[in-house]
Amino acid sequence: MEDTRKGWMIGAIQLVYVIAVVAVALLITKSLSPDQSANASAAPQASSDAAVDLNVLQPVAETFTPTIKLNGVIQSQTQTNIAPQIGGRVVYVSPSFRPGAEIKAGELLFRIEPADYELGVEQAQANIDSASSDLALLEAEAEVALQEWQELFPGQPITDLAARRPQIAAAKSRLASAEAAKKTAALALSRTRIIAPSDARVLSTQLNVGQVVAPNVAVGSIYALDSVEISAPLSTRQLETLQPVIDRAALIRPREQSEVAITGTVKRQNATLDPRTRLASVFITPETLAGLTIGDFADVTLRADPVEDAMSIPASAFFGRDEIWVVVDGTLQRRTLIRLGERGETAIVRRFDSGDGVVSLPPVEGYEGMKVSARMPVEERQLAGGRNAG
Protein backbone atom coordinates (compact mmCIF):
# COMPACT_ATOMS: atom_id res chain seq x y z
CA MET A 1 0.00 0.00 0.00
CA GLU A 2 2.82 2.37 0.82
CA ASP A 3 4.62 1.43 -2.42
CA THR A 4 1.51 2.17 -4.44
CA ARG A 5 1.14 5.62 -2.89
CA LYS A 6 4.79 6.36 -3.55
CA GLY A 7 4.51 5.43 -7.26
CA TRP A 8 1.44 7.62 -7.68
CA MET A 9 3.26 10.60 -6.20
CA ILE A 10 6.22 10.15 -8.55
CA GLY A 11 3.90 10.03 -11.62
CA ALA A 12 2.10 13.19 -10.53
CA ILE A 13 5.39 15.02 -10.08
CA GLN A 14 6.51 13.99 -13.60
CA LEU A 15 3.23 15.18 -15.11
CA VAL A 16 3.50 18.56 -13.42
CA TYR A 17 7.06 18.89 -14.68
CA VAL A 18 6.07 18.19 -18.29
CA ILE A 19 3.24 20.70 -18.10
CA ALA A 20 5.56 23.32 -16.70
CA VAL A 21 8.13 22.78 -19.45
CA VAL A 22 5.49 23.10 -22.18
CA ALA A 23 4.11 26.28 -20.63
CA VAL A 24 7.53 27.86 -20.42
CA ALA A 25 8.21 26.96 -24.09
CA LEU A 26 4.95 28.57 -25.21
CA LEU A 27 5.72 31.75 -23.28
CA ILE A 28 9.16 31.97 -24.82
CA THR A 29 7.76 31.43 -28.35
CA LYS A 30 5.08 34.07 -27.84
CA SER A 31 7.58 36.57 -26.55
CA LEU A 32 9.90 36.04 -29.50
CA SER A 33 7.25 36.15 -32.32
CA PRO A 34 6.56 39.95 -32.30
CA ASP A 35 10.27 40.72 -32.52
CA GLN A 36 10.75 38.40 -35.50
CA SER A 37 7.75 39.87 -37.39
CA ALA A 38 8.98 43.34 -36.65
CA ASN A 39 12.42 42.40 -37.93
CA ALA A 40 10.86 40.82 -41.01
CA SER A 41 8.82 43.94 -41.78
CA ALA A 42 11.78 46.15 -41.09
CA ALA A 43 13.95 44.34 -43.62
CA PRO A 44 11.94 45.31 -46.75
CA GLN A 45 11.59 48.83 -45.43
CA ALA A 46 15.34 49.09 -45.13
CA SER A 47 15.67 47.58 -48.61
CA SER A 48 13.10 49.97 -50.17
CA ASP A 49 14.79 52.96 -48.63
CA ALA A 50 18.10 52.05 -50.29
CA ALA A 51 18.62 54.02 -53.57
CA VAL A 52 20.02 52.16 -56.59
CA ASP A 53 23.01 53.73 -58.29
CA LEU A 54 22.43 54.29 -62.04
CA ASN A 55 24.42 56.02 -64.78
CA VAL A 56 22.54 58.77 -66.62
CA LEU A 57 23.32 60.96 -69.59
CA GLN A 58 21.89 64.05 -71.23
CA PRO A 59 20.46 63.65 -74.78
CA VAL A 60 22.01 65.75 -77.54
CA ALA A 61 19.69 68.15 -79.38
CA GLU A 62 20.09 68.36 -83.17
CA THR A 63 18.32 68.87 -86.50
CA PHE A 64 17.65 65.57 -88.21
CA THR A 65 16.36 64.66 -91.68
CA PRO A 66 14.59 61.26 -91.52
CA THR A 67 15.45 58.89 -94.36
CA ILE A 68 12.98 56.11 -95.18
CA LYS A 69 14.24 53.11 -97.16
CA LEU A 70 11.62 50.95 -98.86
CA ASN A 71 11.52 47.86 -101.06
CA GLY A 72 9.50 48.41 -104.23
CA VAL A 73 8.36 46.51 -107.30
CA ILE A 74 8.61 47.90 -110.84
CA GLN A 75 5.24 47.55 -112.57
CA SER A 76 2.98 49.12 -115.17
CA GLN A 77 -0.35 50.68 -114.29
CA THR A 78 -2.08 48.94 -117.19
CA GLN A 79 -1.44 46.47 -120.00
CA THR A 80 -3.10 46.76 -123.40
CA ASN A 81 -4.10 43.80 -125.55
CA ILE A 82 -3.60 44.40 -129.28
CA ALA A 83 -6.56 43.00 -131.21
CA PRO A 84 -7.73 43.87 -134.76
CA GLN A 85 -11.30 45.08 -135.13
CA ILE A 86 -11.65 43.17 -138.43
CA GLY A 87 -10.53 39.77 -139.64
CA GLY A 88 -8.30 38.72 -142.50
CA ARG A 89 -4.89 37.48 -143.59
CA VAL A 90 -1.83 39.34 -142.25
CA VAL A 91 0.41 40.66 -145.06
CA TYR A 92 2.89 42.71 -143.00
CA VAL A 93 4.30 42.65 -139.43
CA SER A 94 6.60 45.40 -138.15
CA PRO A 95 10.05 44.27 -136.95
CA SER A 96 9.35 46.33 -133.82
CA PHE A 97 6.26 44.29 -132.97
CA ARG A 98 8.28 41.70 -131.09
CA PRO A 99 8.58 40.98 -127.33
CA GLY A 100 10.86 43.48 -125.59
CA ALA A 101 10.95 46.01 -128.43
CA GLU A 102 9.85 49.61 -128.05
CA ILE A 103 7.28 51.12 -130.38
CA LYS A 104 6.28 54.72 -131.03
CA ALA A 105 2.79 56.18 -130.96
CA GLY A 106 1.24 55.92 -134.45
CA GLU A 107 3.75 53.31 -135.64
CA LEU A 108 2.34 50.59 -137.93
CA LEU A 109 2.35 47.27 -136.07
CA PHE A 110 0.85 45.01 -138.74
CA ARG A 111 -1.42 45.16 -141.78
CA ILE A 112 -4.29 42.95 -142.91
CA GLU A 113 -4.82 42.24 -146.62
CA PRO A 114 -6.99 45.19 -147.78
CA ALA A 115 -8.35 43.79 -151.09
CA ASP A 116 -11.71 42.65 -149.73
CA TYR A 117 -12.24 45.96 -147.94
CA GLU A 118 -11.22 48.00 -150.98
CA LEU A 119 -13.86 46.13 -152.96
CA GLY A 120 -16.36 46.97 -150.23
CA VAL A 121 -15.60 50.67 -150.71
CA GLU A 122 -16.03 50.36 -154.50
CA GLN A 123 -19.33 48.53 -154.06
CA ALA A 124 -20.56 51.21 -151.69
CA GLN A 125 -19.62 53.90 -154.21
CA ALA A 126 -21.53 52.06 -156.92
CA ASN A 127 -24.59 51.95 -154.70
CA ILE A 128 -24.26 55.68 -154.14
CA ASP A 129 -24.10 56.32 -157.87
CA SER A 130 -27.17 54.14 -158.46
CA ALA A 131 -29.16 55.84 -155.71
CA SER A 132 -28.17 59.27 -157.02
CA SER A 133 -29.32 58.31 -160.52
CA ASP A 134 -32.67 57.05 -159.25
CA LEU A 135 -33.17 60.23 -157.27
CA ALA A 136 -32.32 62.43 -160.25
CA LEU A 137 -34.77 60.49 -162.44
CA LEU A 138 -37.59 60.84 -159.90
CA GLU A 139 -36.97 64.55 -159.49
CA ALA A 140 -37.13 65.02 -163.30
CA GLU A 141 -40.35 63.05 -163.50
CA ALA A 142 -41.76 65.17 -160.67
CA GLU A 143 -41.12 68.37 -162.65
CA VAL A 144 -42.90 66.96 -165.74
CA ALA A 145 -45.82 65.79 -163.58
CA LEU A 146 -46.14 69.22 -162.03
CA GLN A 147 -46.34 70.91 -165.47
CA GLU A 148 -48.98 68.45 -166.67
CA TRP A 149 -51.03 68.93 -163.48
CA GLN A 150 -51.03 72.70 -163.84
CA GLU A 151 -52.26 72.35 -167.44
CA LEU A 152 -55.02 69.93 -166.51
CA PHE A 153 -56.01 71.39 -163.14
CA PRO A 154 -55.01 75.03 -163.07
CA GLY A 155 -55.10 76.67 -159.68
CA GLN A 156 -55.41 73.33 -157.79
CA PRO A 157 -52.56 72.00 -155.59
CA ILE A 158 -50.85 68.89 -156.88
CA THR A 159 -51.18 65.70 -154.88
CA ASP A 160 -48.13 64.07 -153.22
CA LEU A 161 -48.48 60.96 -155.30
CA ALA A 162 -48.68 62.90 -158.58
CA ALA A 163 -45.65 64.99 -157.56
CA ARG A 164 -43.64 61.78 -156.85
CA ARG A 165 -42.93 63.00 -153.30
CA PRO A 166 -43.04 59.54 -151.61
CA GLN A 167 -40.81 58.09 -154.34
CA ILE A 168 -38.32 60.96 -154.03
CA ALA A 169 -38.17 60.57 -150.21
CA ALA A 170 -37.48 56.85 -150.61
CA ALA A 171 -34.76 57.56 -153.17
CA LYS A 172 -33.11 60.06 -150.83
CA SER A 173 -33.16 57.47 -148.02
CA ARG A 174 -31.51 54.90 -150.31
CA LEU A 175 -28.84 57.46 -151.21
CA ALA A 176 -28.15 58.28 -147.54
CA SER A 177 -27.94 54.56 -146.75
CA ALA A 178 -25.46 54.04 -149.59
CA GLU A 179 -23.32 56.95 -148.37
CA ALA A 180 -23.31 55.51 -144.82
CA ALA A 181 -22.35 52.10 -146.23
CA LYS A 182 -19.41 53.69 -147.99
CA LYS A 183 -18.25 55.31 -144.73
CA THR A 184 -18.51 51.94 -143.00
CA ALA A 185 -16.52 50.27 -145.78
CA ALA A 186 -13.90 53.02 -145.66
CA LEU A 187 -13.62 52.64 -141.87
CA ALA A 188 -13.15 48.88 -142.23
CA LEU A 189 -10.47 49.52 -144.87
CA SER A 190 -8.65 51.90 -142.50
CA ARG A 191 -8.68 49.21 -139.83
CA THR A 192 -6.56 46.93 -141.98
CA ARG A 193 -3.67 49.02 -140.60
CA ILE A 194 -3.15 48.44 -136.86
CA ILE A 195 -1.08 51.19 -135.27
CA ALA A 196 0.43 51.69 -131.80
CA PRO A 197 -1.83 53.73 -129.48
CA SER A 198 1.12 55.25 -127.55
CA ASP A 199 4.83 54.95 -126.91
CA ALA A 200 5.05 51.46 -125.51
CA ARG A 201 7.05 48.30 -125.03
CA VAL A 202 5.88 44.97 -126.40
CA LEU A 203 5.21 42.30 -123.80
CA SER A 204 4.16 39.41 -126.02
CA THR A 205 3.14 38.49 -129.58
CA GLN A 206 3.47 35.54 -131.95
CA LEU A 207 2.02 37.20 -135.03
CA ASN A 208 3.52 36.30 -138.44
CA VAL A 209 2.86 37.11 -142.08
CA GLY A 210 0.24 34.81 -143.57
CA GLN A 211 -1.57 34.27 -140.31
CA VAL A 212 -5.34 34.77 -140.41
CA VAL A 213 -6.66 36.85 -137.53
CA ALA A 214 -10.21 37.12 -136.23
CA PRO A 215 -12.01 40.31 -135.13
CA ASN A 216 -11.47 41.34 -131.50
CA VAL A 217 -9.07 38.44 -130.78
CA ALA A 218 -5.82 39.57 -129.13
CA VAL A 219 -2.61 38.85 -131.02
CA GLY A 220 -0.22 40.51 -128.52
CA SER A 221 0.07 42.82 -125.52
CA ILE A 222 1.97 46.02 -124.74
CA TYR A 223 2.35 48.47 -121.88
CA ALA A 224 2.64 52.24 -122.23
CA LEU A 225 6.00 53.68 -121.25
CA ASP A 226 4.35 56.48 -119.31
CA SER A 227 2.49 53.92 -117.17
CA VAL A 228 5.65 52.47 -115.57
CA GLU A 229 5.84 53.08 -111.82
CA ILE A 230 7.33 51.65 -108.64
CA SER A 231 4.97 50.39 -105.96
CA ALA A 232 6.47 50.51 -102.45
CA PRO A 233 4.70 49.45 -99.22
CA LEU A 234 5.34 51.34 -95.98
CA SER A 235 4.01 51.43 -92.44
CA THR A 236 1.57 54.03 -91.17
CA ARG A 237 4.32 55.45 -88.95
CA GLN A 238 6.63 55.87 -91.95
CA LEU A 239 3.76 57.45 -93.86
CA GLU A 240 3.19 59.96 -91.05
CA THR A 241 6.90 60.85 -91.07
CA LEU A 242 6.78 61.55 -94.82
CA GLN A 243 3.63 63.68 -94.86
CA PRO A 244 2.87 65.27 -97.22
CA VAL A 245 4.03 62.29 -99.26
CA ILE A 246 2.57 63.28 -102.65
CA ASP A 247 5.13 64.98 -104.95
CA ARG A 248 8.01 63.97 -102.63
CA ALA A 249 11.26 63.21 -104.45
CA ALA A 250 12.56 59.64 -104.43
CA LEU A 251 15.79 57.87 -105.33
CA ILE A 252 15.34 54.52 -107.11
CA ARG A 253 17.98 51.81 -107.46
CA PRO A 254 17.03 48.67 -109.44
CA ARG A 255 17.95 45.60 -107.39
CA GLU A 256 19.83 43.94 -110.26
CA GLN A 257 21.65 47.15 -111.22
CA SER A 258 22.53 48.80 -107.93
CA GLU A 259 24.96 51.17 -109.65
CA VAL A 260 22.05 52.82 -111.48
CA ALA A 261 20.41 55.66 -109.55
CA ILE A 262 17.16 57.08 -110.93
CA THR A 263 15.20 59.98 -109.53
CA GLY A 264 11.42 59.87 -109.32
CA THR A 265 8.39 61.47 -107.71
CA VAL A 266 5.63 60.04 -105.53
CA LYS A 267 2.44 60.50 -107.53
CA ARG A 268 -0.20 58.50 -105.68
CA GLN A 269 -0.99 56.76 -102.42
CA ASN A 270 -3.29 53.80 -101.87
CA ALA A 271 -6.71 54.79 -100.58
CA THR A 272 -6.80 51.80 -98.18
CA LEU A 273 -4.36 49.66 -96.21
CA ASP A 274 -3.52 46.14 -97.29
CA PRO A 275 -5.96 43.94 -95.29
CA ARG A 276 -3.26 41.29 -94.69
CA THR A 277 -0.18 43.37 -93.84
CA ARG A 278 -1.88 46.60 -92.70
CA LEU A 279 0.63 48.51 -94.83
CA ALA A 280 0.00 51.45 -97.12
CA SER A 281 1.53 51.79 -100.60
CA VAL A 282 2.90 54.71 -102.55
CA PHE A 283 3.40 54.81 -106.32
CA ILE A 284 6.50 56.50 -107.69
CA THR A 285 6.91 57.66 -111.29
CA PRO A 286 10.54 57.49 -112.49
CA GLU A 287 12.01 60.29 -114.61
CA THR A 288 13.64 57.74 -116.94
CA LEU A 289 13.11 54.06 -117.68
CA ALA A 290 16.80 53.25 -118.17
CA GLY A 291 17.61 50.07 -116.28
CA LEU A 292 14.01 49.41 -115.19
CA THR A 293 12.43 46.06 -115.98
CA ILE A 294 8.79 45.22 -115.27
CA GLY A 295 8.55 42.77 -112.36
CA ASP A 296 12.02 43.57 -110.98
CA PHE A 297 12.61 44.77 -107.42
CA ALA A 298 13.98 48.20 -106.59
CA ASP A 299 15.34 49.95 -103.50
CA VAL A 300 13.57 53.25 -102.88
CA THR A 301 14.86 56.04 -100.62
CA LEU A 302 12.59 58.88 -99.48
CA ARG A 303 13.72 61.86 -97.40
CA ALA A 304 11.29 63.57 -95.05
CA ASP A 305 11.35 67.23 -94.05
CA PRO A 306 14.09 68.19 -91.53
CA VAL A 307 13.06 67.87 -87.88
CA GLU A 308 14.56 70.65 -85.78
CA ASP A 309 13.39 69.37 -82.37
CA ALA A 310 15.26 66.06 -82.55
CA MET A 311 17.47 64.40 -79.92
CA SER A 312 19.99 61.59 -80.08
CA ILE A 313 20.39 58.95 -77.35
CA PRO A 314 22.14 55.56 -77.23
CA ALA A 315 20.04 52.67 -78.49
CA SER A 316 21.01 50.80 -75.30
CA ALA A 317 18.83 53.19 -73.25
CA PHE A 318 15.61 51.55 -74.55
CA PHE A 319 14.06 48.74 -72.52
CA GLY A 320 11.15 48.41 -74.98
CA ARG A 321 10.72 49.40 -78.57
CA ASP A 322 10.02 53.04 -77.69
CA GLU A 323 10.41 53.27 -73.90
CA ILE A 324 13.23 54.56 -71.71
CA TRP A 325 13.78 55.51 -68.05
CA VAL A 326 14.61 59.05 -66.94
CA VAL A 327 15.50 60.24 -63.45
CA VAL A 328 13.32 62.98 -61.93
CA ASP A 329 13.99 64.07 -58.33
CA GLY A 330 15.72 60.80 -57.51
CA THR A 331 13.02 58.47 -58.90
CA LEU A 332 12.53 56.59 -62.14
CA GLN A 333 9.93 57.83 -64.61
CA ARG A 334 8.93 56.19 -67.87
CA ARG A 335 9.07 58.01 -71.22
CA THR A 336 7.55 56.77 -74.49
CA LEU A 337 9.47 58.31 -77.39
CA ILE A 338 8.82 58.86 -81.09
CA ARG A 339 11.65 57.39 -83.12
CA LEU A 340 12.77 59.31 -86.20
CA GLY A 341 15.65 57.13 -87.31
CA GLU A 342 18.94 55.56 -86.35
CA ARG A 343 22.59 56.37 -86.84
CA GLY A 344 24.74 53.38 -86.01
CA GLU A 345 24.07 52.56 -82.33
CA THR A 346 22.40 55.92 -81.72
CA ALA A 347 18.64 56.46 -81.92
CA ILE A 348 17.20 59.76 -83.14
CA VAL A 349 13.93 60.74 -81.43
CA ARG A 350 11.68 63.76 -81.10
CA ARG A 351 12.45 66.13 -78.25
CA PHE A 352 11.19 64.99 -74.83
CA ASP A 353 11.54 65.94 -71.15
CA SER A 354 14.70 64.15 -70.04
CA GLY A 355 14.43 65.26 -66.40
CA ASP A 356 17.77 64.92 -64.58
CA GLY A 357 19.06 62.53 -67.23
CA VAL A 358 18.36 59.42 -69.28
CA VAL A 359 19.28 56.06 -67.75
CA SER A 360 21.96 54.74 -70.08
CA LEU A 361 21.45 51.10 -69.10
CA PRO A 362 17.94 50.28 -67.80
CA PRO A 363 17.79 48.28 -64.53
CA VAL A 364 16.48 44.74 -64.86
CA GLU A 365 13.72 45.17 -62.27
CA GLY A 366 13.05 48.89 -62.65
CA TYR A 367 9.62 50.30 -61.91
CA GLU A 368 7.86 53.67 -61.90
CA GLY A 369 8.81 55.67 -58.79
CA MET A 370 11.83 53.50 -57.92
CA LYS A 371 14.36 55.45 -55.82
CA VAL A 372 17.68 55.82 -57.59
CA SER A 373 20.91 57.72 -57.25
CA ALA A 374 21.85 59.25 -60.61
CA ARG A 375 25.51 59.27 -61.55
CA MET A 376 26.84 61.01 -64.65
CA PRO A 377 30.16 59.68 -66.03
CA VAL A 378 33.08 62.12 -66.05
CA GLU A 379 33.13 62.47 -69.83
CA GLU A 380 29.38 63.06 -69.86
CA ARG A 381 29.69 65.73 -67.15
CA GLN A 382 32.38 67.46 -69.18
CA LEU A 383 30.20 67.30 -72.31
CA ALA A 384 27.20 68.63 -70.39
CA GLY A 385 29.31 71.42 -68.93
CA GLY A 386 30.40 72.40 -72.42
CA ARG A 387 26.81 72.47 -73.62
CA ASN A 388 25.73 74.60 -70.67
CA ALA A 389 28.63 76.99 -71.22
CA GLY A 390 27.70 77.27 -74.86
Structure confidence by residue, pLDDT tens digits, 88-120: 999 999 999 999 999 999 999 999 999 999 999
Structure confidence by residue, pLDDT tens digits, 197-235: 999 999 999 899 999 999 999 999 999 999 999 999 999
Alpha carbon distance 308, 304 (integer Å):
12
- The reported pTM is 0.65
**pLDDT above 70 coverage of the chain, percent:** 83
The type of residue at 168 is I
Residue 181 makes CB contacts below 8 A (sequence gap 6+) with 124, 127
Model pLDDT, residue 297: 92
Picking from 368, 371, 343, 277, the residue whose alpha carbon sits closest to that of residue 54 is 371
Structure confidence by residue, pLDDT tens digits, 349-382: 999 999 999 999 999 888 999 999 888 764 454 3
Residue ranges per domain, the chain? 52-64+308-389, 66-113+192-305, 114-191
Question: 112 to each of 181, 211, 212, 312, how far by Cα in Å?
Answer: 21, 9, 9, 70
The residue-averaged pLDDT of 257-274 equals 88
Q: Please give the mean pLDDT across all residues of the chain.
A: 86
User: Options 3.40.50.300, 2.30.110.20, 2.40.420.20, 3.40.190.10; which CATH number does 52-64+308-389 get?
Assistant: 2.40.420.20
Confidence of residue 134 (pLDDT cuts 50, 70, 90): very high
User: Options 3.30.70.980, 2.40.30.170, 2.30.110.10, 3.40.190.10; which CATH number does 66-113+192-305 get?
Assistant: 2.40.30.170
Structure confidence by residue, pLDDT tens digits, 301-360: 999 999 998 999 999 999 988 999 999 999 999 999 988 888 889 999 999 999 999 999
**Residue 359 contacts residue 56 (beta carbons within 8 Å):** yes
